[in-house]
């Protein structure tokens, strides 16, 4: 169990989940549940995919700004600012929203939905939370002279390069990844949970990679830190984590209650998967994990009370229960000892 919901003095619901903290070598330092749980990282891999586009030379060639790079790493909220940013980066490559194959959905943020309603417009592919990532894929393919119509297919050279890169960050043979289709139509990758923690640890500590990759990584993580509002949006977890804990984490969530972050200046990564897909539990689990291993203090949790206060009310507005984070990380002392 990782969390529970009470009603009165009784536990009404329980939730199972997994947490793992690993270093750049994939050594498991702390865990709860099954650190080997095979998990789709979903949108948490976007920073790596943006890195690939940067390494290709496409982003420099088209004059992509750090703000535009940040939205390539993000799952944005579909505000007018977000949509305009994606439109701008597409236009720099001579592309348009018609090239996007991510599909459309209403903005994830209320602000974006209100803006569309007031303008009398409908959501387009620009408002899809993955449009920035798709823009990065298109720019890279265009720069390299590759087919744009098939850029979402697993056999496309760009998707093959993504698979290879993820293998390099997780120290895995690319053939060992599980591959399916994500909600936005591109390949999505599954690996043991601790391998995703390792990948995020290497976002913070890229030693062992080429000098070029280290420089590109510094730009990617720097863009995410400088423009956290492009990663998700104000009032959403990724953005708020990187505003209030800007010197401590680089964070990126994924769908169906997957979450990962790099712990800055520690060479550590954290990955979380909740079995039931209850994403509302993630803020508490992320923060409690960081608290348990001494990365943050109780005082540093105060800005997140809007996420952490999960009281349950009835139709009369009376509090009848609450959702509680309830787990303790186990310490893998054998792996932790060399780091102390």
DSSP for 211-226 reads HHHHHHHHHHHHHHHH
Which of 69, 64, 49 is closest to 137 using CA atoms?
49
Strand 319-325 with 17-23, pairing? unpaired
Q: Which two tokens stand for residue 315?
A: 């139709």
Q: All domains of the chain, ordered by start, with CATH?
A: 3-274+289-333 (3.40.710)
How does pLDDT run along the chain (340 residues), one tens digit per residue?
999 999 999 999 999 999 999 999 999 999 999 999 999 999 999 999 999 999 999 999 999 999 999 999 999 999 999 999 999 999 999 999 999 999 999 999 999 999 999 999 999 999 999 999 999 999 999 999 999 999 999 999 999 999 999 999 999 999 999 999 999 999 999 999 999 999 999 999 999 999 999 999 999 999 999 999 999 999 999 999 999 999 999 999 999 999 999 999 999 999 999 999 999 999 999 999 999 999 999 999 999 999 998 999 999 999 999 999 999 999 987 776 555 4
Q: What's the pTM?
A: 0.96
Residue 6 CB burial class (10 angstroms; 0-12, 13-18, ≥19) = middle
Helix axes 80-92, 131-143, angle to 10 degrees: 0
* Rounded CA separation 37/29 (Å): 16
Instruction: Provide the edge-to-edge strand list for the sheet that holds 178-181.
Output: 38-40, 187-192, 178-181
The span from the CA of 221 to the CA of 190, in Å, is 23
């Amino acid at each position: 169990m990782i969390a529970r919901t009470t009603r009165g003095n009784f536990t009404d619901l329980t939730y199972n989940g997994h947490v793992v903290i690993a270093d750049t070598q994939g050594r498991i330092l702390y865990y709860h549940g099954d650190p080997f749980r095979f998990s789709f990282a979903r949108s948490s891999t976007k920073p790596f995919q943006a890195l690939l586009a940067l390494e290709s030379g496409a982003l420099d060639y088209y004059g992509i700004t750090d703000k535009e790079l940040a939205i390539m790493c993000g799952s944005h909220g579909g505000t007018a600012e977000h949509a305009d940013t994606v439109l701008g980066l597409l236009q720099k490559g001579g592309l348009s929203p018609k090239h996007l194959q991510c599909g459309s959905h209403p903005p994830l943020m209320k602000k974006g939905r209100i803006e569309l309603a007031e303008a009398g417009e409908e959501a387009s592919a620009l408002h899809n939370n993955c449009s920035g990532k798709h823009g990065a894929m298109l720019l890279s393919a265009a720069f390299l002279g590759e087919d744009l119509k098939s850029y979402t297919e697993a056999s496309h050279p760009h998707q093959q390069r993504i698979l290879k890169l993820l293998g390099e960050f997780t120290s895995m043979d690319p053939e060992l990844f599980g591959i399916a289709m994500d909600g936005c139509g591109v390949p999505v990758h599954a690996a043991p949970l601790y391998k995703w923690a390792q990948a995020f640890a290497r976002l913070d500590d890229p030693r062992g990679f080429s000098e070029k990759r280290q420089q590109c990584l510094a730009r990617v993580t720097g863009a995410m830190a400088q423009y956290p509002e492009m990663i998700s949006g104000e009032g959403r977890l990724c953005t708020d984590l990187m505003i209030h804990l800007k010197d401590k984490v680089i964070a990126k969530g994924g769908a169906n209650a997957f979450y990962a972050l790099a712990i800055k200046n520690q060479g550590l990564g954290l990955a979380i998967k909740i079995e039931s897909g209850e994403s509302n539990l993630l803020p508490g689990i992320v923060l409690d994990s960081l608290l348990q291993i001494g990365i943050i203090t109780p005082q540093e949790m105060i800005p997140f009370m809007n996420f952490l206060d999960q009281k349950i009310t009835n139709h009369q507005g009376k509090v009848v229960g609450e959702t509680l984070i309830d787990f303790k990380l186990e310490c893998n002392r054998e792996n932790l000892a060399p780091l102390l």
